[in-house]
Amino acid sequence: MRRIAARISLILALIVFALPAWAIELITIERPFRAHHLAGVVVDSTGAPVPGVVIEDCIQTFREVRAPGDAEPPVFEKRMILDCHSEPKHVLASATTDSNGRFKLTDAKMRTTHYLFVYYPGFDPMQITVRLRWFAKGNLRIQLQIAT
């Protein structure tokens, strides 16, 4: 009985101390993509399509955050925040990838800028800026990174 209790304690300790090491990092793509449609495919790092990924077209919002450094008084800068799933009122449109990793957000007008938030369990969430242009080539190809 004591061996079982010791094993359970060890397993619980490993879980508690291992969880902080497996952190999720928000990936922000600064440079806007150009596309003809708000459509495309989501793949993993091997190029395999990922079904069930949520893609949200968000309202661009900013949050004041402290800039790096030790300046006194502290310097604050505005950073774009697209965490739509915690603020549902900021979602303009949403889509989920099909079994082939494909998605399409309809009703997007040409010559507009869209702010996409892409997330799926086990992968790092992403913020992507997309500008719709008439002469843009093809659709989007979004590559997710496994959370480490």
CB 97 within 8 A of CB 49: yes
Q: Which domains does the chain have, with CATH numbers?
A: 23-143 (2.60.40.1120)
- Report the distance separating Cα 67 and Cα 75, nearest Å: 6
Mean pLDDT of 46-53: 96
> For residue 46, is pLDDT > 90?
yes
What's the pTM? 0.69
Tokens 């079982």 locate to: 4
Distance of alpha carbon 142 from alpha carbon 126, whole angstroms: 9
Query: What is the average pLDDT score of the chain?
Result: 77
**Cβ atoms of 113 and 129 closer than 8 Å:** yes
Q: Residue length, the chain?
A: 148
Please write the tens of the pLDDT for every residue from 67-103: 667 767 766 666 655 556 666 777 889 999 999 999 9
Mean pLDDT, range 49-53, rounded to an integer = 97
